[in-house]
Structure 1
């Protein structure tokens, strides 16, 4: 089963995504700040990470830097899920290794699931559900 780690400080947004991914048969874990997210990424072996840019304790960009510098986590696809409209921040996230930038206000949860399925499929996981090939 594909495992999604959601690193998001807004509890409502986190719960909403957790529920939709669980409904779609993904294994889901969550973290509410950058430090916790980094620890869970290192210990939990997620298939993909959904990462907010604005986080307490450590920014999303700092988390992304550390994920990509760590041998154990550098190949995990990271999708940025943000409300920031700052093009510089999102360009920086892409340059640092994020595979996709999704603006929360422009995508509903079902669209996000479809985007994640496609990315997982490109990385060797089934696009039908959270089940691996």
Structure 2
């Protein structure tokens, strides 16, 4: 069973995505901020991380920086999934190794599942 870590502070959104991914046979882990996300990534070694940029405390770019410099988790692919539609933030996320930068408003949960499945094939 493939593991996905979702770093998302909006509980309703997390629950919606968790349900869709679990229906497709994924094991889902939740973090509400960067610190919890890094701890869970190191502990669970997910196959992929779905990362929001707008988080309480440090933003998602901080997670990307920390992940890049942590050998035990640096190879885990990260898909940014955020409402922040800012070209500079997208460029920075790309520089830091994000595989894709998706805007939440443009994707329904089933579409996100389809995209993630492609990365995990």
Moved runs in structure 1, 4+ residues, more than 6 A?
Answer: none
| 2:73 counterpart of 1:73 | yes
RMSD: 0.7
1:86-126 Cα deviation digits (max 9, x unpaired):
111011101100001111000111110111011111xxxxx
Matches within 5 A, 1:21-32: 21-32=21-32
1:16 matched residue in structure 2: 16
TM-score if structure 2 supplies the norm length? 0.97
1:55-99 Cα deviation digits (max 9, x unpaired):
112210001110111001110000000001111101110110000
| 2:56 counterpart of 1:56 | yes
- The aligned length equals 121
2:100 matched residue in structure 1: 100
Structure 2: how far apart are the matches of 1:93 and 1:62?
Answer: 10
Give the secondary structure class of the aligned counterpart of 1:49: strand
1:131 matched residue in structure 2: none
TM-score if structure 1 supplies the norm length? 0.89
